[in-house]
Amino acid sequence: MAALTPTADGADTAPAGPKDVSRRGGSPAARPARARRGRPRVWRGAVLGLAGVYFLVPLLASFVFTVHVSGQGVNFDAYTGIFSADGFGRSLLLSLGLAAATIVLSLLIAVPAMVAVRLGAPRLRPVVEIVCMLPLVVPPIALVSGLQSVLKWGPDHLATTPLYQTFLAVQNQSFPLVLVFAYVVLALPFVYRSLDAGLRAVDVTTLVEAARNCGASMPYTLWRVILPNLRSSLAGAAFLTLALVLGEYTIAALLGYEPFAVWIVTISGDQAQMSVAVSLLSLLIAWALLLVLSRAGARADSGAGVSGGPASRVSGPDASGASATAPAPRTAPAPGAAAPLPAPSGKE
């Protein structure tokens, strides 16, 4: 999950490992290593081949299922009918809206907290980490059972207070804020890990001190220095949240709302083919989104070099040594890479 970020970072360094060994052909250790390479290749092919079969067959079979009816030949009615299906647009829009709100809210609360913890409140760091990780301990079904009792209890006991209106507002049928709150809770662990990986790669303290020494205000620093450096992990967090919200069924179904995943189940009763077709499409859309976002992340990484430029120039007058730290973090996250400076915050 959080590996989205390492994916991009580690991709070019990993093949270097085996290559290093083979290039040093003269050393006595290299020859047995090369001799042994024949076996792993067979083993690797078998593992990857079997994995490929297991992961591709359900996708292919689903596709066949949606286009082929025995005795009637092949047709694409299951796909063409989706857009005119009752409830499709409504449920999809609701899911997308919920996802957007969840992404915005989760980043709005997580980013300041995590930057603050790095900057000046290291003692709160375990607190923030535990708070963000605790939702992993509470399964969605347990969360929704708690939410349901809160929603039941609230109107009964707070009927005379202004909070009553709040309870009604969060359960608004056309845009249930209660789902957004629940989804932010569910997304927190993933947002935390993605941002944590990004922050590990950036020396926040040095960047902020450099910017502050040059007279930048704190909000300006956060917006123009910290966030650009985090762009790929922000994108990763956003994608994970989007995927989570689009696929979420438990909470919405039990609270009685009908976003996308619930809608698929609703239609599966009398339109089995279409429900499978929509399932396949949702996977393809998720895949496309991930590709777009990882591209954007990669571009943001190279872009961070550009926007990191001013930052390192900023740090110039601060201390001669500090300017070297700005480019260093970009190489630091790759494990085993010989960075001039060690990962600034890898140590807990």
Partner 1 sequence: MPSDTLPAAPGKPVPGAADGSRRRRRGSRSWLGTLPLLVFAAVCFGLPVGFVVYGALTTDQGGATHATGANLSTSLHGAYLGSLTGSVELSALTALIGCVLGMLIAQAVVTSRRGALRESVLTASGVLANFGGVPLAFAFVATLGISGVVTQIAHLGSAGWSLYSFPGLVVIYLYFLIPLMVLVSVPALDGLRPQWREAAQNAGATTGQFWRHVGIPVLAPTLLGGFVLLFGSAFAAYATAAALVGGSVPLVTLKIADALSGNVQVGQENVALALSADMIVIAGLVMAVYLPLQRRSTRWLH
- Residues 304-343 close enough to bind partner 1 by CB under 8 A: 335-336, 342-343
Interface positions, 130-189, toward partner 1 (CB under 8 A): 131-150, 153, 181-182, 184-185, 188
| Helix (H) or strand (E) segment spanning residue 69 | strand 68-69
Longest Cα–Cα distance of the chain, Å, equals 84
Q: What one-character-per-residue DSSP string does 113-128 give?
A: HHHHHHHT-GGGHHHH
Q: Is 11 in the site for partner 1 (CB under 8 A)?
A: yes
Interface positions, 231-290, toward partner 1 (CB under 8 A): 240, 243-244, 247-250, 253-254, 261, 264-265, 268, 272, 275-276, 278-280, 282-283, 286-287, 290
Give the shortest CB-308-to-partner 1 separation in angstroms: 19
* 35's tokens: 């001799």
Q: Is 299 in the site for partner 1 (CB under 8 A)?
A: no
Give the shortest CB-331-to-partner 1 separation in angstroms: 14
From residue 58 to residue 97, the character string flagging contacts with partner 1 as x (rule: CB under 8 A) and all else as - is xx-xx-xxx-------------------------------
Helix (H, G, I), strand (E, B) or coil at 264: helix
Q: Is 109 in the site for partner 1 (CB under 8 A)?
A: yes
CB–CB of 66/276 below 8 Å? Answer: yes
Give the shortest CB-84-to-partner 1 separation in angstroms: 20
CB–CB of 334/17 below 8 Å? Answer: no
Interface positions, 32-61, toward partner 1 (CB under 8 A): 32-33, 36, 40, 43-44, 47-48, 51, 54-55, 57-59, 61
Q: What one-character-per-residue DSSP string does 13-65 give?
A: TTTHHHHHHHH-TTSTTHHHHHHHTHHHHHHHHHHHHHHHHHHHHHHHHHHHH
Q: Which is nearer to partner 1, 223 or 309 (CB)?
A: 223
Q: Which is nearer to partner 1, 230 or 280 (CB)?
A: 280
Q: From the CA atom positions of the chain, what is the Rg in Å?
A: 25
